């Protein structure tokens, strides 16, 4: 049985992690523990007005207390002396007021207790009038100034009341604590305490109590279905920590399959009873990744990539909220553009690949990550298949034809890879390839290898004669070869170009790497299996390493080949319940016209593509706008060029905003006194007396202009817009990828 995972999610036990609420939210919001923010920013009182009002309220309270304490509000126009002491006098027996009475000290204590009650009422009342609570929240000034009146009261207390002396000392302690709190807030002590007192990490807030019968750690859905024994087994594993977040997601996925196909109920119950937390395992037998570098929530399938910046450009309701990606968002495909060093790989591609690998271990997704050999997206142990193109230590070869059995389909994918970045009609190239691949398949029962295909495209007489002899009895295949021969005699034949492009793959470094089935059984390295993109029907984790340093053009051909094969395989899947994603860490010269058209159809196939580019200049000019229109998620990193920003600005469109135009005009005075006042004002302020006129209107402006995208995005940030497969849109947001 595989070992349990070595780490728990969110630094909590799995049971506590499951109990954290995940409310429904807009696409891209990190739902784990999310709390809704108001739609509009509350109107704050100006600082000068706030402090002035608080000080005036304090002076008013002090004045009223002084008048009461010194007896200015008693007698004369007040018919009852000490009227503000009547509630206390009604509650205290009259015999206690006699100084010779043994209860006189109790009377004095009750009297000063009443003073404290009145002062507390003054503090609350005048504190609310002066809005001292907001003063404390904004500036860290506590609501204690009214209590500075108390020392005068305590000094006049009889010294014989020792217990009241203790009350006086307690007051001074509270006053000192209030001063420490104010100075600590003004001096930003809380961050210092969090850094040095809790090891630099803020302790997570305890989850709210879960209603009885709805605790996800107790697996209520299994209990409701009558599987009490299985639910008890899993609940015990959850409490003991033997069940991880991947285990929970994997078993939940299996239970969804049981609900869709009830005939699997007996097998599900048996495997849970015998294997517990390791039930319904991944084909690899693993239950977690060797290393995690991002924050994940496998209940919702999200990965946290940053935080919405507290910036005026962002809606107030989205500021400081977490930004996350999930299969529902990646299903519309994502295009990320940013210069080298802007953080595309570290802050976007690697977290997404890591999240999809975890989803694959939960039997929910299949991921194919394509990257350079020097920029691995994770350790080899995090993947089931690692294809190192052009390296002997590669564990798998790559199927040149993507597992296709139809020569026209194979020719279409190969043509898109060979000439997709050139101004060439890919349909002519696909036809030329099909005219050779079809007869070769009919003659030998397999597709041609790279050297054989190069000879046929180059018009080698011996190769063509041997192929014609092999299909001599098949008139249909002979017609294909005759048509290819007629096209080869033309001056604009595309076969010559195809032969030149496939030469990049017919190099000694790739010898035997693109072998067909027959060659694999007899040639060097014949024991290595072939990987085909048709395998994305299974929860696989695949990484393809490209030799970009020595074979840049070959790497681009392989990237285009993988993109064409992925879109073809994703659309041809019978079971689309598994999310499939292709991640291209560098999509330079990879996008073709056919791939752009295929991206729009992947949404309905529960599949998506993540494309990372240094610049839109790496895409043919005719495909830049169609590419931005075909993907649902767009991401512009800091430092992009203005011309790239202009493309994004056009894609994001405009919005109505409210503008304020302020006009100042000089006031011309006619009266001598007014002229003198204006002259004195000008001497003091250095400016003439003016009158201000404000005009408010609504105008239509770009959400993000090309200049703002090129110069106003801080380092470590990106502007991100999202679209869910359900059709929900999120306008472009400024995201801090470092938090």
Residue 79 pLDDT greater than 50, yes or no: no
Q: Tell me the pLDDT band of 527, cut-offs 50, 70 and 90.
A: low
Note whether 245 and 298 are within 8 A (CB): yes
Predicted pLDDT of residue 101: 73
Residue written as token pair 């010269």: 589
Helix (H), strand (E) at residue 346:
none
Complete DSSP assignment for 389-411? TT-TT-S-EE-TTTT---HHHHH
Q: Is the pTM of this model over 0.85?
A: no
Residue 140 pLDDT greater than 90, yes or no: no
Predicted pLDDT of residue 208: 52
Complete DSSP assignment for 152-174? HHHHTS-TT-HHHHHHHHHHHHH
Note whether 735 and 309 are within 8 A (CB): yes
Taking the C-alpha atoms of residue 337 and residue 342, their distance in angstroms, rounded to an integer, is 9
- β-pairing, 579-584 vs 607-613, is parallel
CA distances from 310 to 42, 316, 322, 410, 466 (A): 15, 8, 12, 50, 71
CATH number for the domain running over 322-389+529-650? 3.40.50.300
Predicted pLDDT of residue 443: 93
Q: Tell me the pLDDT band of 181, cut-offs 50, 70 and 90.
A: low
**How many other C-beta atoms can be found within 10 angstroms of the C-beta atom of residue 266?**
10
Q: Tell me the pLDDT band of 73, cut-offs 50, 70 and 90.
A: low
Residues of 293-312 as b/e, b for ≥16 C-beta within 10 angstroms? ebbbbbbbbbbbbbbbbeee
Residue 80 pLDDT greater than 90, yes or no: no
Mean pLDDT for 508-522 is 68
Taking the C-alpha atoms of residue 146 and residue 668, their distance in angstroms, rounded to an integer, is 47
Among the listed residues 682, 684, 630, the one whose alpha carbon sits nearest the alpha carbon of residue 334: 630
Predicted pLDDT of residue 109: 77
Helix (H), strand (E) at residue 654:
strand 654-666
Alpha helices by DSSP H, listed for 70-161, are 86-91, 104-129, 132-139, 150-155
Predicted pLDDT of residue 76: 45
Residue 78 pLDDT greater than 50, yes or no: no
Residue 77 pLDDT greater than 80, yes or no: no
Domain boundaries, the chain: 47-189, 213-288, 322-389+529-650, 407-522, 654-702
Question: Within a 13 Å sphere around the CA of 223, how many CA atoms are in the beta-carbon half?
Answer: 13
Predicted pLDDT of residue 121: 86
Mean pLDDT for 234-251 is 92
CA angle centred on 286, ends 280 and 290, rounded to 5°: 145
**Tokens (6 digits) for 162:** 């020792």
Predicted pLDDT of residue 215: 86
pLDDT in tens, 104-136: 777 777 777 887 788 888 888 888 888 777 777
**For the chain, what is the total number of helices (H) and then of strands (E)?**
28, 16
Among the listed residues 613, 506, 513, the one whose alpha carbon sits nearest the alpha carbon of residue 554: 506
**Tokens (6 digits) for 139:** 């500036």
For the chain, what is the radius of gyration of the CA atoms?
38
Mean pLDDT of the chain: 83
Q: Tell me the pLDDT band of 48, cut-offs 50, 70 and 90.
A: confident
Q: Tell me the pLDDT band of 34, cut-offs 50, 70 and 90.
A: very high
Taking the C-alpha atoms of residue 251 and residue 268, their distance in angstroms, rounded to an integer, is 9
pLDDT in tens, 366-382: 999 999 876 678 888 99
Lowest mean pLDDT among 95-99, 149-153, 446-450: 149-153
Note whether 349 and 294 are within 8 A (CB): no
Mean pLDDT for 663-682 is 81
Residue 203 pLDDT greater than 50, yes or no: no
Note whether 735 and 717 are within 8 A (CB): yes
Q: Which residues pair with 368 in a beta bridge?
A: 542, 582
Mean pLDDT for 314-342 is 95
Q: Tell me the pLDDT band of 211, cut-offs 50, 70 and 90.
A: low
Predicted pLDDT of residue 160: 44
Lowest mean pLDDT among 157-171, 198-212, 566-580: 198-212
Predicted pLDDT of residue 630: 95
Lowest mean pLDDT among 564-578, 591-605, 686-700: 686-700
pLDDT in tens, 385-427: 999 988 887 888 899 998 888 999 999 999 999 998 887 788 8
Lowest mean pLDDT among 62-66, 67-71, 401-405: 67-71
Complete DSSP assignment for 505-557? TSSGGGTTTT--HHHHHHSTTTTSPEE-GGGGGS--EEEEEE-TTT-HHHHHH
Predicted pLDDT of residue 299: 94
Exposed (0-12), middle (13-18) or buried (19+): which is 687, by Cβ within 10 Å? exposed
Predicted pLDDT of residue 61: 83
Mean pLDDT for 196-202 is 41
Q: Which residues pair with 659 in a beta bridge?
A: 697
Predicted pLDDT of residue 515: 73
Taking the C-alpha atoms of residue 613 and residue 72, their distance in angstroms, rounded to an integer, is 80
Residue 8 pLDDT greater than 50, yes or no: no
pLDDT in tens, 463-504: 999 999 999 888 999 999 999 999 988 878 899 999 999 999
Mean pLDDT for 629-640 is 96
Residue 660 pLDDT greater than 80, yes or no: yes
Mean pLDDT for 65-76 is 70
Q: Tell me the pLDDT band of 354, cut-offs 50, 70 and 90.
A: very high
What percent of the chain clears pLDDT 70, i.e. is strictly above it? 84
**How many other C-beta atoms can be found within 10 angstroms of the C-beta atom of residue 379?**
12
């Amino acid at each position: 049985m595989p070992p349990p995972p070595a780490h728990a999610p969110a630094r909590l036990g799995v049971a506590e992690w499951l109990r954290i609420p995940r409310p429904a939210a807009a696409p891209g919001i990190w739902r784990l523990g999310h709390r809704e923010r108001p739609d509009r920013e509350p109107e704050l009182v100006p600082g000068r007005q706030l402090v002035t009002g608080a000080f005036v309220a304090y002076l008013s309270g002090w004045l009223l207390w002084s008048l009461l304490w010194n007896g200015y509000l008693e007698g004369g126009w007040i018919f009852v002396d000490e009227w503000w002491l009547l509630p206390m006098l009604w509650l205290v027996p009259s015999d206690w007021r006699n100084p010779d009475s043994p209860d006189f000290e109790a009377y004095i204590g009750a009297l000063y207790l009443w003073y404290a009650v009145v002062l507390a009422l003054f503090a609350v009342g005048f504190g609310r009038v002066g809005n001292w609570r907001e003063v404390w929240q904004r500036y860290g000034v506590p609501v204690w100034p009214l209590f500075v009146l108390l020392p005068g009261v305590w000094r006049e207390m009889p010294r014989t009341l020792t217990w009241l002396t203790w009350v006086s000392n307690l007051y001074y302690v509270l006053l000192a604590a209030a001063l420490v709190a104010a100075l600590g807030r003004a001096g930003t002590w809380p961050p210092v305490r969090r850094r040095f007192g809790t090891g630099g990490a803020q302790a997570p807030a305890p989850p709210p109590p879960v209603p009885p019968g709805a605790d996800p750690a107790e697996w209520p859905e299994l209990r409701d279905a009558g599987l009490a024994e299985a639910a008890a087994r899993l609940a015990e594993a959850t409490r003991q920590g033997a069940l991880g977040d991947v285990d929970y997601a994997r078993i939940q996925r299996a239970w969804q399959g049981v609900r869709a196909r009830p005939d699997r109920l007996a097998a599900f119950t048996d495997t849970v009873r015998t294997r517990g937390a390791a039930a319904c395992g991944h084909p690899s037998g693993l239950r977690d990744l060797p290393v995690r570098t991002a924050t994940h929530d496998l209940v919702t399938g999200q990965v946290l990539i940053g935080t919405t910046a507290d910036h005026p450009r962002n809606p107030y309701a989205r500021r400081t909220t977490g930004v996350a990606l999930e299969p529902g968002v990646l299903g519309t495909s994502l295009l990320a553009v940013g210069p080298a060093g802007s953080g595309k790989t570290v802050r976007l591609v690697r977290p997404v690949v890591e999240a999809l690998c975890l989803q694959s271990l939960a039997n929910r997704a299949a991921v194919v990550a394509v990257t350079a050999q020097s920029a691995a997206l994770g350790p080899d142990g995090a993947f089931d298949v690692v294809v190192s193109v052009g390296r002997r230590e590669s564990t798998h070869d790559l199927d040149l034809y993507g597992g296709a059995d139809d020569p026209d389909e194979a020719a279409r994918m190969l043509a898109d890879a060979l000439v997709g970045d050139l101004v060439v009609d890919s349909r002519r190239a696909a036809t030329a390839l099909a005219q050779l691949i079809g007869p070769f398949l009919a003659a030998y029962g397999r597709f041609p290898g790279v050297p054989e295909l190069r000879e046929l495209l180059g018009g080698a007489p011996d190769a063509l004669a041997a192929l014609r002899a092999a299909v001599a009895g098949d008139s249909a295949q002979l017609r294909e070869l005759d048509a290819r021969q007629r096209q080869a005699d033309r001056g604009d034949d595309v076969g010559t170009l195809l032969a030149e492009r496939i030469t990049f793959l017919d190099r000694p470094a790739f010898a035997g790497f693109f072998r067909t089935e027959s060659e694999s059984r007899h040639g060097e390295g014949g024991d290595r299996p072939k990987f085909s993109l048709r395998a994305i029907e299974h929860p696989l984790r695949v990484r393809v390493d490209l030799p970009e340093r020595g074979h840049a053009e070959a790497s681009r051909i392989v990237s285009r080949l993988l993109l064409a094969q992925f879109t073809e395989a994703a659309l041809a899947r019978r079971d689309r319940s598994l999310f499939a994603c292709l991640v291209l860490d560098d999509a330079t010269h990879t996008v073709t016209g056919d791939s752009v058209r295929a991206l729009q159809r992947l949404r309905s196939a529960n599949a998506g593509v993540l494309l990372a580019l240094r610049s839109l200049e790496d895409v043919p000019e005719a495909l830049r706008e169609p590419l931005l229109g075909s993907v649902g998620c767009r991401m512009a990193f800091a430092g992009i060029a203005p011309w790239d920003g202009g493309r994004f600005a056009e894609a994001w469109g405009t919005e109505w905003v409210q503008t304020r135009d302020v006009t100042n005009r000089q006031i011309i005075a006619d009266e001598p006194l007014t002229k003198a006042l204006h002259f004195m004002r000008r001497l003091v302020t250095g400016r003439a007396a003016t009158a201000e006129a404000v005009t408010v209107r609504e105008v239509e402006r770009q959400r993000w202009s090309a200049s703002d995208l090129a110069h106003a995005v801080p380092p470590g940030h990106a502007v991100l817009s999202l679209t869910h497969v359900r059709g929900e849109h999120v306008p472009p947001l400024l995201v801090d990828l470092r938090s």
